[in-house]
Structure 1
Amino acid sequence: MRPTRLFVPGLTIVSSLLVSGESIDGIKALATRLFKGHGDEFEFTLTANTERPSRWNPPKNDNYTVSSRNGKVHIEGTTLSALARGLRHYSVDSLQLDEFLFAESHATIPDKLPLPTQSLSRTSVVPWRYNLNTVTFSYSFVWYQWEDWEKLLDWAALRGTNIQLAWVGFEKIFLDSFRDLGMTDEEIIPFFSGPAFQAWNRFGNTQGSWGGVGNLSSAWIDSQFELQKKIVARMVELGITPVLPAFPGFVPPAFSRAQPDANTTKAPRWTGLPDTNTRDTFLSPLDTSYARLQQAFISKQIQAFGNVTNIYTLDQFNEMPPTSNEPSYLSQVSTYTYKALTAANPAAVWLLQGWLFLNSGLWTEERVTAYLGGPEGHNSMLVLDLYSESRPQWQRTKGYFGRPWIWCQLHDFGGNMGMYGQISDITVQSMDALRTSPSLSGFGMTPEGYEGNEVVYQMLFDQAWTTTPIDTSGYFYGYVVRRYAGASQTNSLFQAWDILRQNIYDNKDRQVPCVGVGIYQNAPSLSGLVNRTGNWPPPTKVYYDPATLKKAHSLLIQAANEIPQLWDIPTFQLDVVDVTRQVMSNAFNTMYTDYVQTFNSQLSHQKRRIGNRGRLQRRDDFATKGKQLLDFLTDLDRVLATNQHFRLDSWLDAAQYWAKQTGANDLIAFNARSQITTWIWESEALNDYAAKEWSGLTRSYYRGRWSIFVDGLNKALASRKLDEAAIHNQIRTFEKSWQYRGFQSEEASTARAAVKDVLPGMMEKWQSVFK
């Protein structure tokens, strides 16, 4: 152990304390929450003295054993994280009980918990199990309250997560640090982007708010910081190392007034945004004020949260080229960045998202080597290979040239919600990487949004405790048993999920590398929407035979007919809605293709000299197809409205809570609406990036755009003249106005129908879709 002292104003703190005296009270409380008050039936023992991970002390694989002792369930492990993972092992093995992110378990807790019938032991195959992407804090967590965080942290801890990004409340640290440098609130606060876009402000892609709805409020800044205190404290209790933010180097434009001699440059424009909202000012890490600000960032967090971590997230070139591509410059930047970090905390580890290296034309081997080679010490950096399942960079960088790195599953962009998975890749590829790369140090989940497909999220975490690739067939069988615990189960249920396993959740089409979206979620157009591949714009290609999903859907309904009790289970309700809306989304693709082909054919006929009767008949037939398209979206909205996970109102209600807490009604309402639609209206590049499959959004926004499109094509046939630009402009005007509708509900009805009551009529009406 190498204890070091951090000299923080008013504090002297040992940075790499032994944590052998760690309290197990947090794990006991976790057991009480999981087992509804039965926490006293467990006994926990830490079996090893551990030192907080640092650049001198990388973590080691941990282990646990579950057994019975003195009439209690006894769980011993080398770390708090291992104890939490052991708790879940007991839960799923002895009770078939599990926790889920988006619906409550229906399992019954017995009056007296059974003792394990045999010893249960596991050793992790990687020391780190990482969770979260920087942008997840905007796409999924921006409106989270403490109760939401508590559920997420429990879910992560039970799966053995031992390192997680803690990125809430960053603006308070930023504000206080720049105040100390002599800047005013009037100079600092306008630099912050709105609540739903803070992630990109934090690493220099955006600056300021947009939409003309005001700046971030002090009440928002303070309330988020108070929430962060609770989050960090709970993470420590659960054995999850918090990854706290360091200062990356981006400063408000008025920084030059406070530090006129500072060495600053303008970052490039990001994603076509107006200059007023991008081209952030970057302070060179070689400038003395950079180290001063880094000291402030680190010390203020130690004062607020305690000495809880040595690991800090810091990204300087996220989707932006550096000022210079010269290897010597890149080496200097990283060298001085890390020097400033270790001046503030000598034990610091720099966590870097490896996303920037996907730009392989810019980040050549020489440049990557220079940038990663700057910080001294082998373990001074920890790199996230952010998109390992589809676009891994670890091979071409030779395992990041020996730096410790984590194999990550990104899975989705913008929180898109299509059913999707690459289960063969996350089991086989991850273990192949472990076998071939000596510097691999962990597995991690880095989705841009936590919105669905939970089985593939937890599978990678479970792979971290398994020495060979997981048998996906047996894994899915056990998942179904636990997911619908509390009801009898039938072969139809297992058959449905096996179809999902083999087809939907085991994509092998490299042209579809991530979660896709439905064509209906895109701005309507006559071309460019069908069979789209790649990760941006999001793919619309369906990589499996849609008939297989229809079969899975039919089997789920058959299972519910055989066991009606399934309709009472929240997880089953959610899954039926999920599969139903995906079947309908796929069907819309076919309807759209037929609609466009019909229009092109009709327009061609209309331009010829043919009789009025034939022309009018064709126009009527085409108009009927357009009406059918819109009617179908109305019915899709009805299905989505049966479950709160698929409702726009859930998102808006969560945002409105914070609006009431902070008094920023217009700003927060606009942010909530714009993020999931236009992102920033002034740049079409990000339009529909964060598209969601929600009721309210489908009825009012997606159907609203398609209604303009259908009307425009009807008029085009009537006039024999197509003006696509005019239709597009109408759609753009509608998109802009929708951002300003506040917190008004967009639901068709306040009455909440159950999915079991909506589906029979829906399936009868759209027989060709479901059979």
Structure 2
Amino acid sequence: MKTDTLSVKSAKALAQRLLGERADGFAFEEITKDGDKDVFELETRRDKVVIRGNNGVSMAMGLNWYLKEHCKRSVSLRGNNINLPDKLPEIDGVFRKASWAKHRYFLNYCAFGYSMPWWDWSQWERLIDYMALNGINAPLAVTGQEATWQAVCKRLGMTDEQIGGFLAGPPYLPFGWMGCLDGWGGPLPESWIDSHEKLGRQILDRERALGMTPVQQGFTGHVPAALKDKFPDAKMHTVNWVEWTTYLLDPLDPLFQKIADLFMEEQSKRFGSDHMYASDTFIEMTPPSGETSYLENLGKAIFRGMSKSDPEAVWVFQTWTFWHQSKFWTQPRIKAFLDAVPNEQMICLDLACEDRPMWRRAESFHGKPWLWCNIQNYGNKVFLGGGLDKINDGIMEVRHDKDRGNLRGIGFVNEGLGYNPVIHDLMFEMAWRDNDVDIDSWTKRHAGYRYGHSNSDAEQAWKTLRETVYASPIKHPFHFLSVMSRVPGFEEKPDVHYDNNRLAEAWEYMLKASEELGEIDAFQFDLVNIARQVLSNYALVFHKQMEQAYKEKDADAFDVSSKHLLQLFLDIDELVGTREELLLGKNLEDAKRWGQTPDEKAILEWNARQILTLWGTTEINGYARKEWSGLISGYYHKRWQKFIDHINKELLKGEPYDDKRFKKELMTFMEMWSDAHETYPDKPIGSSVDVAQRMWSKYGMNFSF
């Protein structure tokens, strides 16, 4: 056992950040792996809890296990409960746990656009600690890539203006790294590029110190449009995604390897290397050729772009494209592409196993190591839901399936960090469990450590949640979305697969529990989130009343129901405004702080607003919608008011509703909102418990549709 290694020092520092002076009650020691498995041990020795692990991540996982199992305390990204008991509970003997999962991957490219584009070091430091506490050892790490690409472009002779047309705005950068778009939301301020190169190094240094193996960027073949003029003889293909066109170098063109070499050199110079590289050339695009020889050459070229500079390179590949472009990706094409790379130098991420697994359809990825992954959240939308059973059963079923191939671990690849911490907890734990869990008892246990001790009302609330919102996986990006954030009209209807009255019962149980648990941060978040979902669903009642009144040409009834709908939106805005995680104002202020001039602040604020609303110009409108205070009152409420005004003109004045005219007016409003600079509260207002209680009293107990 070692007590003075970098891993031990890193684990101690994490404990001190998390627990303050109470960290003195813990000692950390480094031990060897359990064969080829990561491992941690827990033991009480005299007056201290001793935590052993083979690296900082294993020790941190051990600390978190102790906090949950012995102290009933919880660390999450959405509400904490870490006020330790006066005396640390003793451990009987030595508790030892090893992980079957060699790789525990975390983060989706999209999360860098939907959750983390505006984060500073203090926010990243908290996330890295959270990752370590949950055993993550392979996080995607692409912060600061813009500095790498700027250097590559300069070496290729591009001007600052041309580079500015290639590098996208901050929330759109990850879509550039996946080859989806160029330049949208730019140009990036030089101060941003410099500061995020520094931030990227800080992130990597901390992750490495804890024993993580960060997954960095690999060259995909996607190149700036300006290069087609600078290298007119180079063979390039155009690739289309939604409303953007980008350029892809042909894998056989000599320029492909030249740029790959430059990219690897510049990245290594700035950020070092851990030999794992993410590269996704066709995440949601159709390749320019379906010839198996082309796909084989492309696979070889991408891998050679990494391995020539780094012979130990491992390509980490998202297999989402096989599902998204399933008509294109036939089995011969999948095989040709994957077989181009040595098995042990590629890891396939099966991105949505909770709903649409690819591993069986793709013949277990033809011998490649692969990870069972869960997306859970698309666009970092705010909703309550997820498939606990699917995670629990799905992982265990595949582990015992004789056709599973080379399964090497798990990945949590949510497009945003999300608002369902219970899903995170189960997903991360499954990497350290050799048997499935009884979800009913596990959910009861979750409520216990999330709030600090057992409470019958809180347990009943979680029993209800487990039987409603957490009974099925998220099936598509717009699953469970409210009337409130949809484009105003009568066409779209929410897709809710549970009884809203039952979910309201969970809210009522939580209010009963609030007398005992109301001061706990994690409880307050959950109470607000449950109440928000019930009220958000309930908007459908007033929406249906409006639609019926419109069909019957009843102006008075329409007026009453539409006023109820608009007031409900404002009430939800007030409720979520009690939590920092649900504030538009905090997001906007985080974005603006990176600008050094008024113009820089303005372009960054535009990016922050645009990604939440229109996204592009028209086709992805509302993809990353949020039920946030400020966004509800300042955007969704106003959109619905405009729609209601148009309907009222028909009912009261006989002016026929013109949907085309309304949508044009709505587009003008949405574009103007992204350009605007009005401010919203960036600090929570009011008591979560008090507001949730008042909303319950106001809306009563019948929340059915």
Q: Do residues 299 (structure 1) and 265 (structure 2) align?
A: yes
Q: Which residue of 1 aligns with 2:631?
A: 697
Distance 1:601 1:470, change over 3 A: same
Summarize deviations over 1:188-239 as a string: whole Å, max 9, x none.
Answer: 12211111211111121111135xxx61111111111110000001101112
Distance 1:48 1:759, change over 3 A: closer
Counterpart contact for 1:633–1:698, Cα < 8 Å: yes
- Which residues of structure 1 form unaligned runs of 5+? 1-19, 51-58, 531-539, 603-617
Q: What is the distance in 1 between the residues matched to 2:700 and 2:209?
A: 53
Distance 1:147 1:692, change over 3 A: same
From 154, 165, 168, the equivalent of 1:193 is: 168
Q: Do residues 261 (structure 1) and 261 (structure 2) align?
A: no
Q: Do residues 724 (structure 1) and 659 (structure 2) align?
A: yes
* SS, match of residue 432 in structure 2: coil
Distance 1:712 1:264, change over 3 A: same
TM-score (norm 2): 0.94
Q: Which residue of 1 aligns with 2:412?
A: 445
Between 28-37 and 322-331, the greater mean CA deviation after superposition: 28-37
Q: Do residues 733 (structure 1) and 668 (structure 2) align?
A: yes
Counterpart contact for 1:190–1:216, Cα < 8 Å: no
From 389, 392, 395, the equivalent of 2:357 is: 392
From 247, 251, 255, the equivalent of 2:223 is: 251
Summarize deviations over 1:609-636 as a string: whole Å, max 9, x none.
Answer: xxxxxxxxx3222222222221221112
Residue correspondence of structure 1 range 304-315 to structure 2 within 5 A: 304-307=270-273, 309-315=274-280
Distance 1:371 1:719, change over 3 A: same
1:253 Cα offset (Å): 1.6
Distance 1:657 1:370, change over 3 A: same
Counterpart contact for 2:141–2:204, Cα < 8 Å: yes
Summarize deviations over 1:20-46 as a string: whole Å, max 9, x none.
Answer: 976432112112223313445433333
Q: Do residues 687 (structure 1) and 621 (structure 2) align?
A: yes
Residue type of the partner of 1:668? L
Q: Do residues 77 (structure 1) and 74 (structure 2) align?
A: no
Distance 1:751 1:248, change over 3 A: closer
Q: Do residues 673 (structure 1) and 609 (structure 2) align?
A: yes
Q: What is the distance in 2 between the residues matched to 1:86 and 1:265?
A: 50
Q: Do residues 766 (structure 1) and 702 (structure 2) align?
A: no
1:669 Cα offset (Å): 0.8
Residue type of the partner of 1:248? T
* SS, match of residue 394 in structure 1: coil
Q: What is the distance in 1 between the residues matched to 2:188 and 2:217?
A: 19
* SS, match of residue 552 in structure 2: helix
Considering only aligned residues, what root-mean-square deviation do their CA atoms show, in Å? 2.2
Between 446-455 and 728-737, the greater mean CA deviation after superposition: 728-737
1:434 Cα offset (Å): 1.6
Q: Which residue of 2 aligns with 1:569?
A: 520
Between 471-480 and 691-700, the greater mean CA deviation after superposition: 471-480
Summarize deviations over 1:539-583 as a string: whole Å, max 9, x none.
Answer: x2111111110111111111124x2xx222211111111111111
* SS, match of residue 267 in structure 1: strand
Distance 1:660 1:114, change over 3 A: farther
Q: Which residue of 2 aligns with 1:117?
A: 92
Counterpart contact for 1:417–1:515, Cα < 8 Å: no
Counterpart contact for 1:389–1:429, Cα < 8 Å: yes
1:361 Cα offset (Å): 0.8
Distance 1:594 1:121, change over 3 A: same
Q: Which residue of 2 aligns with 1:611?
A: none
Distance 1:182 1:723, change over 3 A: closer
Q: What is the distance in 1 between the residues matched to 2:689 and 2:297?
A: 62
Q: Do residues 558 (structure 1) and 530 (structure 2) align?
A: no
1:325 Cα offset (Å): 0.8
Q: Which residue of 1 aligns with 2:585?
A: 649
Counterpart contact for 1:168–1:224, Cα < 8 Å: yes
Q: Do residues 597 (structure 1) and 548 (structure 2) align?
A: yes
Counterpart contact for 1:106–1:569, Cα < 8 Å: no
1:49 Cα offset (Å): 7.4
Q: Do residues 501 (structure 1) and 466 (structure 2) align?
A: yes
Q: Which residue of 2 aligns with 1:470?
A: 437
Residue correspondence of structure 1 range 229-628 to structure 2 within 5 A: 229-268=201-240, 270-271=241-242, 273=243, 278-307=244-273, 309-358=274-323, 359-375=325-341, 377-436=342-401, 437-485=404-452, 489-507=454-472, 515-527=479-491, 529-530=492-493, 540-561=494-515, 563=516, 566-602=517-553, 618-628=554-564
Q: What is the distance in 2 between the residues matched to 1:351 and 1:205?
A: 18
Summarize deviations over 1:510-539 as a string: whole Å, max 9, x none.
Answer: 866875311110111121x11xxxxxxxxx
Q: Which residue of 2 aligns with 1:226?
A: 198
1:653 Cα offset (Å): 1.6
Residue type of the partner of 1:133? N
Between 621-630 and 454-463, the greater mean CA deviation after superposition: 621-630
Between 83-92 and 160-169, the greater mean CA deviation after superposition: 83-92
Distance 1:21 1:249, change over 3 A: farther
Summarize deviations over 1:437-481 as a string: whole Å, max 9, x none.
Answer: 131111110111112001101211101111111222222222212
Q: How many residues align?
A: 697
Distance 1:181 1:513, change over 3 A: closer
* SS, match of residue 339 in structure 1: helix
Share of identical aligned residues, percent? 31
Q: Which residue of 2 aligns with 1:32?
A: 16
Counterpart contact for 1:262–1:287, Cα < 8 Å: yes
1:585 Cα offset (Å): 0.8
Distance 1:759 1:94, change over 3 A: closer
Between 569-578 and 279-288, the greater mean CA deviation after superposition: 279-288
Distance 1:750 1:495, change over 3 A: closer
Q: What is the distance in 1 between the residues matched to 2:340 and 2:195?
A: 37
Q: What is the distance in 1 between the residues matched to 2:190 and 2:486?
A: 36
Counterpart contact for 1:411–1:515, Cα < 8 Å: no
Higher Cα radius of gyration: 1
1:104 Cα offset (Å): 3.2
Residue type of the partner of 2:66? Y
TM-score (norm 1): 0.87
Residue type of the partner of 1:173? T
Q: Which residue of 2 aligns with 1:158?
A: 133
Residue correspondence of structure 1 range 31-180 to structure 2 within 5 A: 31-48=15-32, 60-69=36-45, 71-108=47-84, 110=86, 113-180=88-155
Q: What is the distance in 1 between the residues matched to 2:141 and 2:187?
A: 24
Residue type of the partner of 2:38? D
Q: Which residue of 1 aligns with 2:679?
A: 745
1:644 Cα offset (Å): 1.4
Counterpart contact for 1:421–1:506, Cα < 8 Å: yes
Q: What is the distance in 1 between the residues matched to 2:30 and 2:524?
A: 40
